[in-house]
Amino acid sequence: MFKQVINAMNSSVWAIQPEKMEIIMKFLSIRLTGQKISDETISAVTQSQPEMFSQKKTVVLPIFGTITQHADMMSEYSGGTSTDKLGAMFDNAMSNPSIKSIILNIDSPGGSVYGLEELTTKIRNARGKGKRIIAVANSLMASAAYYIGSAADKIVASPGAQVGSIGTIAVHIDQSKAIAEAGYKYTFFTAGKYKALGNNTEPLSEDAVDYYQTMVDRYYDMFVSAVAQNRGISKQDVKSNYGQGKVLIAQDAVKVGMVDQIRTLEEVIKQEERRYTRTR
């Protein structure tokens, strides 16, 4: 099963913190070789997934752990978030007339680029349609998580939060040495020059390096474009002021415009509920 996960990750493009990617790859490699996994490694790669919950007029949607498009083996062991499931929860909240505010409770290092643009567009298009949409960094809103959170009407960070890591990454797992030592030799029969490009049975060719770098660059441009549109600024401003792949602490994120306000999740929920009480 974990061989399939590694194959799925191999040379795919991710919007995730590099250090989180390294932890996941270490976890998979250990599982693949049958070694015992330490409690520390398990703790680093897994994360409990909170449930959606509602106050009187406010619904809180959780975005925790590694983000992937579908509920799959990755989200199964990482306690992550499916953009498909999150999109369905968001649609239900939008269609519920009793809900006035939607809060995205975010604590995620990011994840796969797949499904991000669709979910981000859904959230952005819902702005101004009768409900307030607020993203809360509680306490990490990195990479794909910021991609999603930037689509909200407002971004709030908890006092100790980190925000940013705007960038894309891909990793190629060269298993050719391990395969040779095991006595295997793979032969690919393909039609199309690039059909077997980037396979993990051999080192990357120059063509493969160019291809995957182009893919990473294109997804990065999509990421920057989405953030610029969501935040009402230029792409150059995103590139110049939003960290170049770094995460910023809450106070610094406010200074450069990545975040609008510093408050805890509980304070945001109470503020939204008071807003409804005052206007009822």
Half-sphere exposure of 186 (CA within 13 A, CB side): 15
Domains of the chain with bracketed CATH: 2-171+204-279 (3.90.226.10)
Spatial contact of 169 and 14, defined as CB atoms under 8 Å apart: yes
pLDDT at 82 over 50: yes
pLDDT at 210 over 60: yes
More confident call, 165 vs 10: 165
Instruction: Round the average pLDDT of the chain to a whole number and report it.
Output: 86
Q: How confident is the model at residue 51 (pLDDT cuts 50, 70, 90)?
A: low
**How large is the average pLDDT for residues 8-29?**
72
Distance, CA of 108 to CA of 93 (rounded, Å): 21
Please confirm whether the linkage preceding 143 is cis (ω < 30° from 0): no
- What is the share, in percent, of the chain residues with pLDDT greater than 70? 80
pLDDT at 76 over 60: no
Q: How confident is the model at residue 42 (pLDDT cuts 50, 70, 90)?
A: very low
pLDDT at 48 over 70: no
Q: How confident is the model at residue 198 (pLDDT cuts 50, 70, 90)?
A: confident
Q: Which pLDDT does position 30 carry in this prediction?
A: 58
Q: Which pLDDT does position 172 carry in this prediction?
A: 86
Secondary structure of 71-93 as H, E, C letters: CCHHHHHHCCEEHHHHHHHHHHH
In the beta sheet, which residues pair with residue 134?
103, 154
Name residue, tokens 């039609």.
191
E strands, 109-167, are: 110-112, 132-142, 154-157, 162-164
pLDDT at 101 over 70: yes
Name residue, tokens 């006595």.
183
Q: How confident is the model at residue 11 (pLDDT cuts 50, 70, 90)?
A: low
In the beta sheet, which residues pair with residue 102?
59, 133
Spatial contact of 33 and 173, defined as CB atoms under 8 Å apart: no
More confident call, 51 vs 108: 108
More confident call, 4 vs 205: 205
pTM: 0.84
